[in-house]
């Protein structure tokens, strides 16, 4: 089944060229079924790239998904045109009275700041509080996961001596969780961050369960009871070249940066990177859509509590 996206969204061309099954709003209106309503709060500066990445993963299931894009009104995007935001994005004021089957809160390049120093922190806290009664299941990514763990559970983040940067092997710790159903015992996932959360802080919260972790990158996946909240510390949504773009950006700016680990063949950045996480990324999002959204969300979306 396709993902339903706004008419004219730039991601449509890329996804069509990749043979991804998409459906515009115009075509979807002729079908007599209820799609899953998924809200994507895009906090990344490269919004077009990010919306394309998540659209690709959300389309890889037999479910029809209606995607609504959201941006913060208390922060003016510098790398995305206002025309694009006005054409394809909503603000929280536009959706606060609605209900959604699922929501994704992305990462953001603000991890070196204290949470309260982030320009849109108060708005984000209001949105995160709203998800508890207006969204059936919310998936938080990277900094978005750290921010939600801090806001909802008081779990702090800690600065790292060296940036976690690359593609790392992870171990499934809780094999009975449907979020990781079909996963190999070990799997690869990208990370790109300067801060971390600690296992011992998460384990103090009885309603949280660590699902997978990496000896090099730390905790990877956490869920709350019943899966109403999912926390993913890595960037499984990344394209094959996303880490390379970040690496070359910092390298060309003269910043201290090493090549991403386990990314280039023989650690040679003149060679094309290897994408070793695509299959598990697709499985992660299809499992979330199926088991934590579709199978448990009420048919009457207005009854979400």
C-alpha to C-alpha distances, 61 to 39, 41, 116, 203, 282, nearest whole angstrom: 17, 21, 37, 32, 9
Catalytic residue among 51, 66, 111, 237: 237
Q: Which two tokens stand for residue 74?
A: 């208390």
Q: Are 18 and 84 in contact (CB under 8 A)?
A: no
286/42 Cα distance (integer angstroms): 20
C-alpha to C-alpha distances, 88 to 67, 212, 226, 230, nearest whole angstrom: 10, 35, 32, 26
Burial class of residue 123 in the structure, from the number of CB atoms within 10 Å of its CB (0-12 exposed, 13-18 middle, 19+ buried): middle
Integer Rg of the chain from CA: 18
Catalytic residue among 71, 140, 152, 235: 235
Active site residue 235: yes
134/109 Cα distance (integer angstroms): 27
146/74 Cα distance (integer angstroms): 20
Catalytic residue among 51, 142, 170, 246: 142
Tokens 């060296």, residue? 162
Active site residue 125: no
Active site residue 177: no
For the annotated catalytic residues, the residue numbers are: 142, 235, 237
């Amino acid at each position: 089944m396709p993902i339903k996206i706004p008419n004219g969204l730039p991601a449509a061309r890329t996804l069509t060229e990749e043979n991804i099954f998409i459906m515009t709003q115009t075509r979807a209106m002729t079908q007599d079924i209820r799609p899953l309503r998924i809200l994507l709060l895009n906090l990344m500066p490269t919004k077009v790239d990010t919306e394309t990445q998540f659209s690709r993963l959300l389309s890889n299931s037999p479910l029809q998904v209606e995607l609504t894009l959201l941006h913060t009104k208390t922060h003016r995007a510098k790398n995305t045109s206002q025309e694009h935001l006005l054409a394809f994005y909503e603000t929280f004021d536009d959706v606060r009275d609605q209900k959604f089957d699922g929501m994704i809160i992305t990462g953001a390049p603000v991890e070196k700041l204290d949470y309260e120093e982030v320009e849109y922190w108060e708005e984000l806290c209001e949105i995160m509080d709203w998800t508890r009664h207006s969204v059936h299941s919310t998936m938080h990514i990277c900094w978005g996961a750290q921010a939600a763990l801090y806001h909802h559970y008081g779990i702090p983040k800690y600065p790292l001596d060296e940036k976690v940067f690359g593609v790392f092997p992870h171990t499934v710790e809780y094999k009975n969780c449907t979020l990781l159903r079909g996963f190999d015992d070990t799997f690869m996932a990208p990370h790109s961050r300067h801060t971390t959360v600690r296992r011992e802080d998460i384990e103090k919260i009885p309603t949280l369960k660590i699902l997978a972790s990496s000896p090099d990158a730390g905790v990877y996946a956490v869920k709350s009871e019943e899966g109403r909240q999912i926390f993913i510390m890595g960037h499984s949504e990344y394209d094959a070249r996303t880490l390379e773009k970040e690496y070359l950006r910092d390298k060309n700016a003269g910043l201290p940066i090493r090549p991403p680990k386990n990314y280039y063949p023989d650690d040679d950045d003149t060679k094309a990177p290897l994408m070793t996480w695509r299959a598990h990324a697709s499985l992660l999002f299809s499992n979330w859509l199926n088991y934590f959204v579709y199978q448990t969300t009420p048919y009457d979306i207005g009854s979400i509590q």
